[in-house]
Amino acid sequence: MRRGLAARCGLLAALGVLSVLALPAAGAFGHGEEGEAAAEIPARTLVQQALALLTQQDNATEAQEKLEAALQSKDQEGVQIASVRDALEAIEKDEHEEAVGHMNEALAPAEAAGEKQVAGEEGAGPEETTEPAPGALEHAEEFEPERGAAEWVGFGVGIALIGLAGVGLLARGRAGA
């Protein structure tokens, strides 16, 4: 009787280990979806995130990734792409203040962009500041990733493992009594 119980507990443990090891592999097969999801994020949101990363966390690497994704985004409405390219170049040169100025330009409304171009003709470049321009981070749409099948499978496997552990504990408790 004890031998059968030990075999069942071993089988449950093996099943649990296999399910835990199988879940990360399922995520690896869906890796291409991450790039596709990034292309769906509006460029304005990505530039705002890059601006926040650079000004709040001084994280140039992630800010650069966000700017690169903004250039690849399908929705580039409300963003001056030339300024995004300039900001990316400034980050690559490790000139963070200049990059912040270019990102502020990229997020500026179209009317303000025209005024800055006129000012640029007189020799004035992008504003050299480490703070986002007023309103640059406003009106961002919150990005919510889609819930995929992997999340639901993981949730189901987790619930099943909790249930199996409970059954195993009950069987162990009865066998010990």
Question: What's the rounded mean pLDDT across residues 49-77?
Answer: 91
10 — pLDDT class (breaks 50, 70, 90):
confident
Q: What is the pTM of this model?
A: 0.50
Q: d(Cα 44, Cα 84) in Å, to the nearest integer? A: 10
Determine the 3-state secondary structure of 134 from DSSP: coil
Of residues 35 and 75, more confidence is placed in 75
Q: d(Cα 87, Cα 76) in Å, to the nearest integer? A: 16
Angle between helices 60-72 and 96-107 (to 10 degrees): 30
- CA–chain centroid gap for 165, Å, is 34
On the question of pLDDT at 52 being above 70, the answer is yes
What tens digit of pLDDT does each residue of 86-103 get?
A: 999 999 999 999 999 999
Q: d(Cα 159, Cα 72) in Å, to the nearest integer? A: 39
Sign of CA dihedral 169, 170, 175, 177: positive
| DSSP letter assigned to residue 138 | T
